[in-house]
Structure 1
């Protein structure tokens, strides 16, 4: 039997008592089933039997893992590429409104589209990317070098960034305390940490259950809600200053969920499911499919 990543204490409250939450297959690569557990004290959810970090690589080896492969094969991923162009401007506008400096570190920079967009807007960009394939795509397509996580963890990158962003990345990070220490050291005193994360308290998460794309086991280890990520960050010296819903995620998650259920046959029905989740999020941002959290260091 493979050795698994062991979680004995809750990363938020240090509680050691957990209950079964959900079994979720790895729909993308292996079809193995992974168990989600929930802390009985603070309700934080995590993947209880994820692979060791050293053995996680094969679970990313899929052309459908679009941030590493840049595939546009199939309807869902063709739509994804169109949506990405829309969201690049959306992210830029949210960052622009922070009225801070233009020195930006993007952790989990993928194939480089966000960095390239921000560079064109006048930002000084640095990227960190674990996938050699994605880093090569970034350098070949945009001439931007992405550094390895090892360089980041060893403190070989610059400091005093105005912005550090992780777009659907932090849920993959094993060594979360080291990363938060680096965020604190690498940001200037008034800098912003931006985390975009799936929200497993959203209507689409409850609708799709084990088919929900936001769980993405075993690549996603941590499954946050607004409450749990704010507690998580507060414990590590960061305060929440702003939240934004990600408007297209409920529609994408509906497409992914229906494709996993092999019921992605009638696009209008899938669209209506996404629309329902989006409308709920307009009434309560805490129910958004994915949320952009903007933090600053506590003083």
Structure 2
């Protein structure tokens, strides 16, 4: 049985990066060879304070800056792609739990399509925005009853969870026997991650505590008798992450150059399947 301790012992030094978004504090990323996983060290005791800034983009509907506009434009396109994905799963019913639902746009898209929706969002600001869209939002996963769901989604959420092993067990219990779990996370094996190294924006320390590979996701979920049945690319992420990484590296966004890094990353990933971010579709084993 995998424990949290298994993930944080026998680690090798990998790279040192920092919180470019807020505090500028330095953090180490350490490598767990057994799980092919990077672990942020140290993990701050008060993680909440690292989310308390107006620019934290998943907690706002802002369209002020170039980065905001790029993010919102891409999000509007990907919402329909996500809806198409969950509809393709052909579940018996249409109940969905979206964990880390942010400002609720994905849930709203699902609700308009006839899905029974519930969201989890710990950030008060994002909660308040979601509730203006007539969505049911809980603050934590612990508030849920014994109901099970046809689809559970975590769009760039799992990397934020401190108690990772316990959380994975909870996800398994919340999913119906024929249900599907959809997880999207950054991939530190991608070309853009290797190109930008400590400036890679998707490291996003210390908010991102875990940095996954395909092997680590497969191994973690196999520990709760679940398996990855399909892996899909998030091709837009390489462009957005490269744009932000350029800002961290050079002090400005350099959209022209970052576009070509993102393009080359996707080109390389056609051969390796190591895209900047990956979507994993996971099911329970019989």
TM-score bracket for the superposition, by shorter chain length: over 0.9
Distance 2:162 2:4 in 1: 14
Aligned to 2:142: 153
Q: Mean Cα displacement is larger for which, 239-248 or 173-182? A: 173-182
Q: What is the CA deviation profile of residues 136-189 of structure 1, one whole-angstrom value per residue up to 9, with x for unaligned ones? A: 01002x11131011xx225x3352210000000010001223322221221110
Aligned to 1:212: 200
Aligned to 1:246: 234
Aligned to 1:182: 170
Distance 1:192 1:9 in 2: 28
Where does the alignment leave 5 or more consecutive residues of structure 2 unmatched? none
- Scaled by the length of structure 1, the TM-score of the pair is 0.90
SS in 2 for 1:207: helix
Aligned to 2:210: 222
Distance 1:158 1:89, change over 3 A: farther
Does structure 1 retain, via aligned residues, the 8 Å contact 2:4–2:165?
no
Question: Where do residues 167-206 of structure 1 align in structure 2 (5 Å cutoff)?
Answer: 167-206=155-194
Aligned to 1:291: 278
Aligned pair 1:119/2:111, yes or no? Answer: yes
Does structure 2 retain, via aligned residues, the 8 Å contact 1:162–1:191?
yes
Aligned to 2:59: 68
Deviation, 1:265, is 5.3
Aligned pair 1:22/2:15, yes or no? Answer: yes
Distance 1:193 1:148, change over 3 A: same
Deviation, 1:283, is 2.5
Does structure 1 retain, via aligned residues, the 8 Å contact 2:30–2:40?
yes
Aligned to 1:3: none
Where does the alignment leave 5 or more consecutive residues of structure 1 unmatched? 1-6
Does structure 2 retain, via aligned residues, the 8 Å contact 1:168–1:195?
yes
Aligned to 1:87: 78
Aligned pair 1:270/2:258, yes or no? Answer: yes
Deviation, 1:263, is 5.2
Does structure 1 retain, via aligned residues, the 8 Å contact 2:244–2:253?
no
RMSD between superposed Cα atoms in Å = 1.6
Aligned pair 1:9/2:5, yes or no? Answer: yes
Does structure 2 retain, via aligned residues, the 8 Å contact 1:153–1:182?
no
Q: Mean Cα displacement is larger for which, 38-47 or 190-199? A: 38-47
Q: What is the CA deviation profile of residues 63-82 of structure 1, one whole-angstrom value per residue up to 9, with x for unaligned ones? A: 22111133222111111000
Aligned pair 1:260/2:248, yes or no? Answer: yes
SS in 2 for 1:118: helix
Aligned to 1:4: none
